[in-house]
């Protein structure tokens, strides 16, 4: 994507259990002395695409005084764990050794970019079941209501004003009492209160662990067990790279949780089965192209979108035509589009992988960052009709700059943008940092009659605004068929304005009021 948007975060968990589960041998890279710590940094690196602002872990080791111990730093996984300094990295791994561990990589959909907001969050307590740590992936759409309800009670106080802190308070309240509560009932109670996306990894000082996926399955969660090792992560590819056999890697069903207790694991349902509302943006952009989400491959979904764009194509193919993907997430769609059209797919844009994410900057600095991030190759683009394939357009700021560079620096004579995603016409309230209508490119071009397939007049106006010769999007009705999933099982709120939860529906009403009144700021606030 030329225009990076905030991911919602990634979570991971490891547990070395007392006895092997089933058959199939052990995962490569044996755990020594029941210590899973050496495995976690690699697991987090494989979900680094989901969060680059901070990384952290909490380990469980009953033999030490600090039974739960948390380490977290601002920066990438490599930076946080000092992986370029072998001695310092080894010291961290040794200090935070444990037979169980949870981990997190963070992007800030809310909260500041400092270590206080990094996860996991740990709560100390003298009672072992009240001493816990957790990390989560997603966004609570009803955070404001939950916060205000707590603050209305005596002597409650928020220090960070984030949904992570809200979950901390909610867990603490449900773990009260003079005996350890049933964690399935704890998660069931949370499910009755929470609205939104909240995949969670949790462990307490009793050695219990929970890996849970919210009832709608908005965000993906994969897990595997082989021998004595249980692993879970936001990306299936992370488990495959760890050495788990493909037959052992599964998607956790929405509304279910993995519970490890007394060194043994089981799967429990904590919420009634509902029609899922999986975020289609996971397939389009967020997830690693090598991952599988609920048995549907990310690469396949992107390639199918490219083929559909080719079937829709109304521009004639000429000898000077080339297909250029915007690195990297549009590559699969571009390759499929190119093959179907019979047009060569070329690397007309070279991405500098050592330039930071462009969304971190704002205003005029973002345009300068884009110029550093992408280099148009004049030898490839000069005097060509360029079919520029992009995975999505959210705010359009960087795509405009990119199109200008391709024409000015690259020498392209025509630019035809093809987007493997429908127009983003509405905010996301479930973990993607685009929470207002005013920040989006597409809404001004569509009225209430829009049903998911853009009309030609709107496309022409949008193309003129972007400074390109033509613009085509994947129609919203094609999302389900392209991804290979039931269309009713995906959340399409940001491309249809129809949301799967009550709070989401309330928030879009408020977002529209704010937009008409010219008010800026997050819709939640």
Distance CA 497, CA 445 (A): 14
| Greatest Cα pair distance in the chain | 77
For the chain, how big is the Rg over CA atoms in Å?
23
HEC states along 208-261? Answer: CEEEECCCCCCCCCEEEEEEEEEEEECCHHHHHHHCCCHHHCEECCCCEEEEEE
How many Cα atoms occupy the beta-carbon half-sphere of 324 within 13 Å? Answer: 32
Q: At what angle do helices 143-151 and 163-174 cross, to 10 degrees?
A: 60
Q: How buried is residue 266: exposed, middle or buried, by Cβ count under 10 Å (0-12/13-18/19+)?
A: exposed
Q: Pick the catalytic residue: 9, 421, 428, 491? A: 9
Q: How far is CA 34 from the centre of its chain?
A: 31
For this structure, is 345 an active site residue? no
CA 521 to chain centre: 22
Interior/surface letters 184-211, b for 16+ CB within 10 angstroms, e for the rest: bebbbbbbeebbbbbbbbbbbbbbbbbb
Q: Which residues contact 286 (CB under 8 A, 6 or more apart)?
A: 7, 8, 49, 50, 279
Q: What is the dihedral of CA 291, 294, 300, 304, to 10 degrees?
A: -140
Catalytic positions are 9
């Amino acid at each position: 994507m030329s225009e990076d948007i905030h991911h919602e975060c990634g979570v991971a968990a490891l547990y070395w259990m007392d006895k092997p589960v089933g058959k199939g041998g052990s995962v490569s890279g044996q755990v020594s002395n029941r210590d899973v710590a050496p495995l976690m940094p690699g697991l987090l690196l494989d979900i680094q695409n989901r969060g680059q602002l901070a990384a952290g872990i909490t380990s469980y080791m009953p033999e030490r005084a600090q039974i739960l111990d948390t380490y977290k730093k601002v920066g990438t996984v490599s930076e946080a764990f000092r992986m370029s300094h072998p001695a310092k990295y080894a010291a961290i791994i040794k200090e935070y050794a444990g037979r169980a561990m949870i981990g997190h990589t963070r992007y800030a959909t809310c909260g500041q970019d400092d270590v206080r907001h990094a996860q996991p969050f740990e709560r100390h307590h003298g009672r072992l079941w009240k001493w816990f740590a957790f990390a989560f992936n997603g966004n609570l759409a009803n955070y404001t209501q939950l916060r205000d309800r707590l603050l209305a009670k005596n002597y409650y106080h928020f220090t960070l004003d984030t949904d992570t802190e809200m979950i901390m308070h909610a867990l603490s309240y449900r773990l009260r009492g003079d005996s350890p509560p049933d964690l399935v009932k704890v998660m069931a109670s949370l499910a009755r209160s929470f609205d939104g996306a909240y995949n969670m990894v949790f462990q307490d000082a009793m050695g219990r662990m929970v890996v849970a996926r919210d009832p709608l399955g908005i965000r993906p969660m994969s897990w595997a067990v082989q021998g004595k090792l249980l692993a879970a992560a936001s990306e299936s590819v992370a488990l495959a790279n760890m050495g788990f056999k493909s037959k052992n890697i599964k998607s956790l069903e929405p509304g279910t949780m993995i519970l490890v207790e007394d060194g043994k694991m089981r799967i429990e349902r904590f919420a009634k089965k509902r029609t899922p509302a999986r975020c289609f943006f996971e397939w389009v952009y967020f997830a690693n192209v090598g991952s599988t989400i609920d048995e549907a491959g990310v690469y396949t979904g992107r390639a199918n979108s490219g083929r559909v764009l080719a079937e829709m194509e109304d521009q004639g193919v000429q000898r000077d035509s080339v297909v250029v993907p915007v690195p990297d997430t549009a590559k699969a769609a571009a390759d499929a589009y190119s093959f179907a059209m019979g047009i060569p797919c070329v690397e007309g844009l070279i991405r500098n992988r050592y330039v930071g994410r462009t969304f971190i900057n704002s205003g005029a600095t973002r345009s300068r960052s884009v110029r550093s991030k992408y280099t148009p190759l004049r030898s490839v683009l000069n005097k060509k009709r360029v079919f520029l394939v992009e995975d999505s357009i959210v705010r359009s700021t960087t795509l405009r700059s990119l199109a200008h560079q391709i024409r000015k620096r690259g020498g392209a004579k025509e630019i035809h943008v093809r987007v493997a995603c429908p127009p983003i016409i509405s905010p996301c309230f479930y973990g993607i940092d685009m929470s207002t209508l005013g920040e989006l490119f597409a809404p001004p071009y569509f009225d209430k009659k829009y049903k998911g397939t853009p009309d030609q007049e709107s496309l022409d106006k949008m193309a003129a605004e972007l400074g390109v010769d033509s613009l085509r999007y994947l129609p919203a009705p094609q999302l389900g068929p392209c991804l290979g999933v039931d269309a009713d099982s995906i959340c399409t709120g940001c491309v249809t304005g129809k949301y799967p939860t009550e709070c989401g529906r309330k928030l879009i009403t408020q977002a529209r009021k704010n937009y008409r009144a010219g008010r800026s700021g997050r819709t939640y606030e």
